[in-house]
């Protein structure tokens, strides 16, 4: 299970059209294993019903500070004390101004004001028109709320309900969920800069054909996400895959092995950890045809000459920063058989402190995997689990291995 499993979250809704996204967020948080208690303002009830949120959360919704269901009639105290975090999504411009000035004239604002500051974080997801968001008053309020310890999330950019386009949209449910996961994740990589490669490479034969492999990139993307949640600044160099970019991760798209090497060399000097998960093609055609190679009816096959691609992992591992311990390198090996023997040999050949092996045919394109961690002292298995869970376990393992001068 993820970091939200077992957490108790209060989801507050202030008035705004983005209340419809709160329904999706509520469902996502429950699916992630959290219990969700919904609190709505009167304005929010104009946009979505309490019945909808009750059905999605599986708990009665609170809308009034005078709710008689609480034995002491202090819902604003009780609900906040029970929470691991309070999340206000959407947070209107008016509600954020209310928070800033300590106004407490409804249940949601009362609860936010009365929460234990040291124990219950307050997260707000702004949602408003682009002009309202850009207004100096709103920007002052956001800056002061952050200075006061409130976690004010970024806003999205795009089409708005009013017909305008710009900043101010509430983040999507999955983006808010990722930010909440990071909130509860130990910041083991805080201050680190992590460079990850992921996915396959593609080596062109002609304009319409090429050599690639079955790597989906899911493991590498999961590692990038886990590293970011653990507090690292993450750059992800991705081969040709269509996966969404993990929130907060800088992505660089490439196609061929040489393009991937170039991108890695541009970013590795700033990194303290390099994780090479990409399935890079070992060879490429010596030259790609300018036009599509066609059959001529003779039955003869085209003659293709191959050259070896650069070894990205070995190149980085042999660099002065890696050799001096300033850069911690982790390699991956996707094998078809004899995993331990091949992974052990590859670790020694590449010169990396940690080599992660897996059986490629049983994991390509799948959402789960099993990993073998090989280092100088031996090997340790991470049994089959979701790639997101394995990524978190691997990030924790890497954090423990970082030398003091990096960590």
The position carrying tokens 């042999």 is: 318
Which residue intervals of the chain bear CATH 3.40.50.10300?
193-401
Q: What is the pLDDT of residue 404?
A: 64
Asked if 162 is an active-site residue, the reply is: yes
Q: Mean pLDDT, consecutive 10-residue segments, the chain of 407 residues?
A: 90 96 97 97 96 97 88 86 96 96 94 95 97 96 97 92 90 96 94 96 94 93 97 97 95 97 97 96 91 85 90 96 95 87 91 90 84 93 93 96 66
CATH of domain 8-183: 3.40.50.1950
Which residue intervals of the chain bear CATH 3.40.50.1950?
8-183
3-state secondary structure 167-190: EEECCCHHHHHHHHHHHCCCCCCC
Q: For the domain made up of 193-401, give the CATH fold.
A: Rossmann fold (3.40.50)
Q: What is the pLDDT of residue 161?
A: 86
Neighbour tally for 146: CB within 10 Å:
12
Q: What is the pLDDT of residue 1?
A: 63
Distance, CA of 135 to chain centre: 30
The residue annotated as part of the active site, out of 19, 26, 112, 162, is 162
Judge whether 21 and 90 are in contact, CB under 8 Å: yes
pTM for the predicted model, two decimal places: 0.88
Q: What is the pLDDT of residue 268?
A: 97
Burial 386-397 (b: 16+ CB within 10 A, else e): bbbbbbbebbeb
Judge whether 36 and 23 are in contact, CB under 8 Å: no
Q: What is the pLDDT of residue 250?
A: 97
Report the alpha-carbon distance of residue 187 to residue 182 in Å, rounded.
Answer: 8
The position carrying tokens 């999340």 is: 87
């Amino acid at each position: 299970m993820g970091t939200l499993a077992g957490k108790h979250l209060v989801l507050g809704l202030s008035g705004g059209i983005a209340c419809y996204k709160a329904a999706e967020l509520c469902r996502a948080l429950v699916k992630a294993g959290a219990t969700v208690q919904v609190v709505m303002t009167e304005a929010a009830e104009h946009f979505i019903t309490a019945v909808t949120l009750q059905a999605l959360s599986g708990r009665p919704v609170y809308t009034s500070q005078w709710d008689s269901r609480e034995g002491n009639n202090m819902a604003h105290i009780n609900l906040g004390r029970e929470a691991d975090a309070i999340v206000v999504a959407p947070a209107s411009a008016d509600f954020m101004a209310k928070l800033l000035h300590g106004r407490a004239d409804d249940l949601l604002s009362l609860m936010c004001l009365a929460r234990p500051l040291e124990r219950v974080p307050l997260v707000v997801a702004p949602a408003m028109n682009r002009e309202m968001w850009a207004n100096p008053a709103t920007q002052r309020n956001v800056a002061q709320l952050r200075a006061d310890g409130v976690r004010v999330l970024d806003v999205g950019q795009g089409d708005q309900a009013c017909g305008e386009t710009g900043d101010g949209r509430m983040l999507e449910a999955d983006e808010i969920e990722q930010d909440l996961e990071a909130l509860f994740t130990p910041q083991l990589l805080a201050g680190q800069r992590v460079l990850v490669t992921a996915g396959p490479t593609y080596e062109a034969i002609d304009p319409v054909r090429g050599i690639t492999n079955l790597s989906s990139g899911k493991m590498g993307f999961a590692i990038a996400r886990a590293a970011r949640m653990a507090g690292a600044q993450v750059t992800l160099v991705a081969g040709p895959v269509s996966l969404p970019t993990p929130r907060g991760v800088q992505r660089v798209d490439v196609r061929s092995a040489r393009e991937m090497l170039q991108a890695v060399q541009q970013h590795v000097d700033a990194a303290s950890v390099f994780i090479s998960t990409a399935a890079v093609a070992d060879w490429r055609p010596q030259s790609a045809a300018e036009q599509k190679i066609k059959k001529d009816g003779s039955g003869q096959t085209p003659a293709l000459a191959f050259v070896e691609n650069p070894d990205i992992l070995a190149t980085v591992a042999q660099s002065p920063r890696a050799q001096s311990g300033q850069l911690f390198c982790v390699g991956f090996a996707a094998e078809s058989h004899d995993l331990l023997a091949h992974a052990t040999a590859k670790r020694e050949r590449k010169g990396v402190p940690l080599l992660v092996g897996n059986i490629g045919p049983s994991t390509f394109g799948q959402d789960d995997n099993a990993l073998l961690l090989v280092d100088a002292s031996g090997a340790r298995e991470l049994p089959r689990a979701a790639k997101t869970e394995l990524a978190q376990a691997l990030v924790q393992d890497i954090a423990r291995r970082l030398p003091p001068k990096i960590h």
